[in-house]
Amino acid sequence: MTEVAAALREAAQRLEGVSDTPRLDAELLMAHALGIERPTLLLDPSRHAVPADFVSLVERRMAHEPVAYIVGYRDFWTIRLAVGPGTLIPRPDSETLIEAAVGHFGEGGPKRVLDLGSGPGTLLLAALAEWPEAYGVGIDESGKAVDWAERNADDLGMGDRAHFRAGDWAVGLEGQFDLILCNPPYIADSEVLMPDVADHEPAGALFAGADGLDDYRRIIPDLPRLLAPGGAAILEIGHRQHMLVRELAEAAGFSVACRQDLGGRDRALLLTRA
């Protein structure tokens, strides 16, 4: 067994107590320490020596610091997003919203996109990468998140198509959008989260009142004025919230379709004008 392979095995064993993906975490940390991509590492680990700082990176993960914060990025859809403390880390489940948008619009795509609760620019920048002629607006309550989003837009060459600003959902926003994307906080205040999330990611991007629905109650009634004819609003939901959020959407006059994530769980509601 090579030096790197042995170090990866030992790190994965240590991380089993703090991570659901210990081997993946170890590989990502090793690749980061080496300054290479993970596929390059896996192609031939024997070409490399264990970097001096690999152990310290593993120690940070052992303290429940998210891997994305340690390496400074998270891949999402077809793009790479810089992330760090103070912003929500993109999740693979959220790609369900982009998949739903692609299914609705096809290659033609939307022209104007709104991302409510944009975080580091996750959904808006993924949509703009999918449709190069589109442009859009991202709004987040956190100025720190807006800073990350603007950085990501510039890094991806989308600074001229994506405008981010701090705001209270769509309050004061004028105009209509072909596609509205939204991943709001939807966790009940009483729910206990893993330390990786609870101790590191911003609570304001996670929790939404006693039943997790507070922000849906504010967002959904405002969508009719913002959604252009023929457009779609797509909301991420907790996998047990389908019917509760559907009722709010139907009360606002929308037809609703549900999309499931790769795990087969209800994850996104697609709203169109009834």
Mean pLDDT of 209-218: 95
Q: What is the pLDDT of residue 2?
A: 83
Domain boundaries, given as residue ranges, for the chain: 3-63, 86-273
Q: With 70 as the cut, is the pLDDT of residue 1 above it?
A: no
Question: What is the tens place of the pLDDT at every residue in 138-178?
Answer: 999 999 999 999 999 999 999 999 999 999 999 999 999 99
Please name the residue that has the structure tokens 């993109």: 90
**Dist CA 246 CA 147 (whole Å):** 33
DSSP state at residue 89: P
Mean pLDDT of 52-81: 98
Strand segments (E) across the chain: 73-76, 79-82, 112-116, 135-140, 162-166, 177-182, 227-236, 254-260, 266-273
pLDDT above 70 as % of the chain: 100
CATH for 86-273 (2.40.70.10, 3.40.50.150, 3.40.720.10, 3.40.50.1220): 3.40.50.150
Residue 13 sits at φ, ψ, to 5 deg, of: -65, -40
Q: What is the pLDDT of residue 107?
A: 82
**233 in Cβ contact with 239 (< 8 Å):** no
Please name the residue that has the structure tokens 């004028």: 174
Question: For 3-63, CATH number?
Answer: 1.10.8.10
Mean pLDDT of 249-272: 97
Q: What is the pLDDT of residue 171?
A: 96
Residue 2 sits at φ, ψ, to 5 deg, of: -75, 165
